[in-house]
Amino acid sequence: MAAPASEDVQISIRNENKEEKAKYRQRAQWLRAAVLGANDGLVSVASLMMGVGSVKQDVKAMLLAGFAGLVAGACSMAIGEFVSVCTQRDIQAAHIKREEAAPKTQGEANEEEEEELPNPGQAAIASALAFSVGAAAPLLAAVFIDNHKIRLMVVAVVATSALMVFGGLGALLGKTPLLKSTVRVVFGGWLAMALTFGLTKLIGSGAMQI
């Protein structure tokens, strides 16, 4: 009788380890997606505000552009994530149905897959919230500053600081080199803001002359 009891304990421990690993993977995926979503919100809205600020000195114009970017981006992220996760869920569900007639070992694996099926609603809400959190940083940085040049500088500094934080978090969650990942994220954000600022200023100046 001792042997079966020992086997039951080992099976129980293995099942617990599998559950813990599955939960860890899910948490890591959600956290990584949240960091990436916040980074997208930050870069998108900061770049939009810098672009508008290159041709408009009015703080209201920058804030309205940033707020519109926040709402539009959050909605776009939520819809895109919902559709994407629905498609992923349909694919996984179809795969599970095809495996239902398989042996017991595969049947147990299917049960684990059913538990790990993603939730489209949660993914959509998480993406929208993450994008909004990132987008709020440059908006809050600019709202109380009247001087146009100082406002642009503060938005750039706040965006850079937030990019460093998001880059570091992404590196820790993805288990990639910290410095390399952070520099890559910061450089990408700078490039997006610089291109938006320069091209908008160029096109805006030409439109004013016409």
Range of the domain at 118: 27-205
pLDDT tens sequence across 134-172 = 999 999 999 989 899 999 999 999 999 999 998 888 888
Whole-angstrom distance, CA of residue 203 vs CA of residue 53:
13
Does residue 14 fall inside a structural domain?
A: no
Could you tell me the pTM of the whole model?
0.76
Does residue 129 fall inside a structural domain?
A: yes
- Contacts with 137 (C-beta within 8 Å, 6 or more apart), sequence order: 42, 46, 158, 159, 162
- Residue 1 burial (CB < 10 Å; 0-12/13-18/19+)? exposed
Does residue 22 fall inside a structural domain?
A: no
Does residue 20 fall inside a structural domain?
A: no
Within 10 Å of residue 91's Cβ, how many Cβ atoms? 10
Does residue 156 fall inside a structural domain?
A: yes
**Residue 28 clears pLDDT 90, i.e. is over it:** no
Does residue 7 fall inside a structural domain?
A: no
**Residue 186 clears pLDDT 60, i.e. is over it:** yes
Does residue 119 fall inside a structural domain?
A: yes
Whole-angstrom distance, CA of residue 80 vs CA of residue 45:
18
Q: Which residue has the higher pLDDT, 111 or 153?
A: 153
Q: Which residue has the tokens 């820790």?
A: 172
Count of the separate structural domains present in the chain:
1
Does residue 12 fall inside a structural domain?
A: no
Whole-angstrom distance, CA of residue 210 vs CA of residue 201:
14
**Residue 99 clears pLDDT 60, i.e. is over it:** yes
Question: 3-state class of 108 per DSSP?
Answer: helix
